[in-house]
A and B are shown apart, each in its own frame.
Chain A
Amino acid sequence: MSQSARVEEEAPAMEESQKPEPAPVPDLELVQRAQKGDSAAYDELIRRYQERVYATVYHMTSNHEDANDLAQETFIKGFQALKSFKGDSSFYTWIYRIAVNKTINFLKQRKNRSHMSLNDIDFNAENDPDLVALISDRTPRRDVGLTELQEKLNEAMQKLSPVHRLVVTLHDVQGLSHEEIGKIIDCNIGTVRSRLFYARQQLQAYLSDYVK
C-alpha cells in the first residue's frame, strides 16, 4: 500500500477522533425509552447514577456488601416502578429517594447489628492537604493515620440516627444542596438545616480527639 493511500485511509479516522462528543441524551428521554421497554436506555441511566447511589448507601451503612445489595435493589425497584414515573421531579431525585427509603428501612431492620466492611481509601487521599494537616500532628505515618481516621469517622457516623446520618452524607460527603436534600427526603429546608446542625454537633463530640 502506497503512503498516499495510507494517508487517505487515516484521514477519516482522525476526523472522527477530533469530532466533539455528541451531547448526552437527557435523562427524561432515556426514561421514556426505558418505559417503552428499551433496556439499553435503562442501562445508560444506571451507569449515570450508579456511583452516587452506591456512595450514598455505602456511607449510610459503612458496609460494602450491604451497599452493593441495596444499590442493585434500588435500580431494580426503579425499573419496576418506572411506569409510575411522571417526570414531576428529575430521575436523579426520584432514584435517590428510592435508595434512601430502602436504606433507612434496611437500617431499621438491622438496628444495632451493624458490622462495618469498609472500602479501601484511594491513594489520592494522601495528597489531600486538608487531610494531611489533620493527621500530621497525630502520627508520622500517614497511611496508618488515614486508616485509623477512617475507622473512627465511620464509627462516629454509625452512632448517628439514620436521618441525621443521611443529611450529613448527602450534604457534607456528597455535596448536595439543602434544596436537593429537601426534595429527596421530602421535607423543608429548615428541617434539613436543623438536622445537619445537630448531626454535626454530635459528630464533633464523638470525634473530639481528631477535631479541635
Chain B
Amino acid sequence: MNPNTENFDQLRKLLALKRYELPPPRYFNEFSGRVMARLAKPPRQPLTWLQRLGFDFDLRPAAMCGVGVVVCGLLSAGVIGAMQMSEPDAGSVPVAFVPGPTTAPMNGLAPVAPPNEIASIAPLLASQPASPFGQFGIRAMPASFNNFGSAH
C-alpha cells in the first residue's frame, strides 16, 4: 500500500482538535519563573546513612514513637515472660512425683506411705487446684505413721 495514496484527511482534521487543548490561563506567564526558581534552589544535600536506613528522626516523629512503643512492649513482654518461667508450676506436677515432706525424716526413716494409702487419697490430690501461691510450696501430702511407734 502506498502511504501517499491513503486518505487520512479526516483524521488529520480530527487531530487538529488537540491544538485547541490549552493549559489554564496565565499558565505560561509563570512557567519560566517556576523553572528559574527551581534552578536557583541550592542542590539537594545527599542523604546521611541514617536517613537511607529510614531513621529520619526529624521527619518521622510518629514512626519513631511507634518504634518506641513496640520496643517498650517487647521489653515488658520479655521481663514478664522471664518472671513466669522462674516460678514453679504447681498444677503440672503429677501426683506420683510429688516430693516428700520438706521436714527431715524422723530417726532416719523415710515416711513412705504404702501404695494402698496413696491410692486412697489420690483423687483428693488430683482434684487439688493449682495454687496461685505456688512459690510457697504448699502441698497436700500423704502422711504415714507406720514407723512412728517403733521409735519407742
Contact = CB atoms under 8 A, between A and B. Distances in A.
Query: What is the interface of chain A mostly: helix, strand, loop, or mixed?
Result: helix
Interface stretch (B15-23, B65-73, B133-141): B15-23
Interface residues of A, number: 50
Interface string A187-212: 00000011011001101100100111
A46 B8 CA distance: 34
Contacts of B8: 200, 204
A40 B34 CA distance: 14
Contacts, number: 109
Contact-residue bracket for chain B: 20 to 34
Contacts of B15: 153, 168, 172-173, 203
Contact of A76 (B16, B24, B39): B39
20 contacts: A46-B31, A46-B32, A54-B23, A59-B18, A121-B21, A121-B22, A122-B20, A122-B22, A125-B17, A131-B16, A131-B17, A134-B13, A146-B17, A149-B14, A150-B17, A168-B15, A172-B11, A197-B6, A200-B11, A203-B11
B12 interface: yes
Contact of A172 (B12, B31, B34, B40): B12
Interface in A116-159: 118-122, 124-125, 128, 130-131, 133-134, 146, 149-150, 153-154
Given A39-B39, A120-B22, A149-B17, A134 B10 contact: yes
Interface string B33-55: 01110111000000000000000
A47 B32 contact: yes
B60 to A, nearest CB: 25
B109 to A, nearest CB: 88
B21 A150 contact: yes
Nearest to A64: B23
A72 interface: yes
A32 to B, nearest CB: 18
B16 A128 contact: yes
